[in-house]
Amino acid sequence: MNNKIILSMLFAVVSLAFSLGFADPATYNIDSSHTYPAFEADHQGGLSIWRGKVNRSSGTIVLDKEAEAGSIDVLFEMASIDFGHDRMNEMATTNILHVDEFPTANYQGSLTNFENGAPTSVEGVLTLHGVSRPVNLAVNSFKCQPHFMNGREVCGADAEGTINRADFGLDYDLDIGFFPEVKLLVTVEAQIAE
């Protein structure tokens, strides 16, 4: 066997080993119809808790299973905020979030602290109301599987964290005793890009 054939075979074996052992990172498109960025906020200094969600969001998740790494980039349309109460929706978009000036919010982060192949946290930055601040999330559950309808891989997660809305310039009614802490509760599903 001549050297060219041996080198070609060796190259083919090495290429196969790399392709089997080192998968490329995969990109997943967020399914907005199965993604619910929700929140809980104080009303009148502990009198009750207002709950709501953002109805329209989009973005991508990049997952490198072999390297146990990944990233997330999500855009939220703040005019779609929904408390289940029309008057509150109008007040929040106009007087609190000022959506005419700040129509979107964005969260970018890195998937971290993998256990058994799944991330248990996200370290990221939230840009809200024109202000960017570090916001980390705990991932309560994370799972990937074939989608039951089309067979393409879909990943889902449930995550939570807490922000101080004053840090983002959202100080509406804080001067009369409202608590500034807002709990974030995020359910997300994303399908692998074709």
Q: How far is CA 155 from CA 15, 141, 159, 193, in A?
A: 29, 10, 13, 12
169-190 pLDDT tens trace: 999 999 999 999 999 999 999 9
Binning pLDDT at 50, 70 and 90, where does residue 7 land? very low
pTM: 0.86
The number of helices, as runs of H, and strands, as runs of E, in the chain is: 2, 11
Domain 24-192 CATH class label: mainly beta
Per-residue pLDDT at 16: 40
The pLDDT value recorded for residue 151 is: 87
pLDDT category at 105 given cuts 50, 70, 90 is very high
Write the DSSP symbol of residue 101: T
Q: Where are the domains of the chain?
A: 24-192
Would you put residue 98 in left (φ > 0), alpha (ψ -120 to 50) or beta?
A: left
66-94 tens-digit pLDDT = 999 999 999 999 999 999 999 999 999 99
Nearest to 128 by CA among 169, 93, 174, 178: 169
